[in-house]
Amino acid sequence: MKHRQERLNSLIQEELSKIITRDLEFDGVLTTITKVEVSDDLFNALIGVSVIPSSKSKEALKILNENKGRLKHSLLKKMKIRAIPRLDFEIDQGPEKSAQIEKIIIETNNENNGAVAK
């Protein structure tokens, strides 16, 4: 990945996280920007979003998509670049899957420790 692209990914993630926290309201939902992947031509940005609880993912995604224009405008004012890439949001299942795997590992360790102690 090119340096400019990496830097843009990082800047968009940082600024968009601040803007979403400050300007959007998600009722009883924790929403986190987990990744930003700007295309090679710098015209599109795929934004990974983690939502807790995951049962409210569709609602959070709807709020983000309804506010794309406003978010893009806020980014443009903050970042001082000519053009902000088009924002496309997707739910990032990675953190949830990691938590499930961790839970399984802990349960397995607890079961093994119980078997050894007998």
Pairing of strands 86-91, 44-52: parallel
According to CATH, what is the number of the domain 3-93?
A: 3.30.300.20
- Summarize pLDDT for 82-91 with one digit per residue, the tens: 888 999 999 9
* Positions of the chain with pLDDT under 70: 1, 95-98, 114-118
Whether the Cβ atoms of residue 56 and residue 30 lie closer than 8 Å to each other: no
The string of DSSP letters for 1-55 reads --HHHHHHHHHHHHHHHHHHHHH---TT-EEEEEEEEE-TTSSEEEEEEEEESGG
Distance of CA 32 to the CA centre of its chain: 5
> pLDDT value at position 79?
86
Q: How far is CA 91 from the centre of its chain?
A: 7
Largest CA distance in the chain: 68
**How far is 39 from 50, CA to CA, in rounded Å?**
21
Instruction: Quote the pTM value.
Output: 0.75
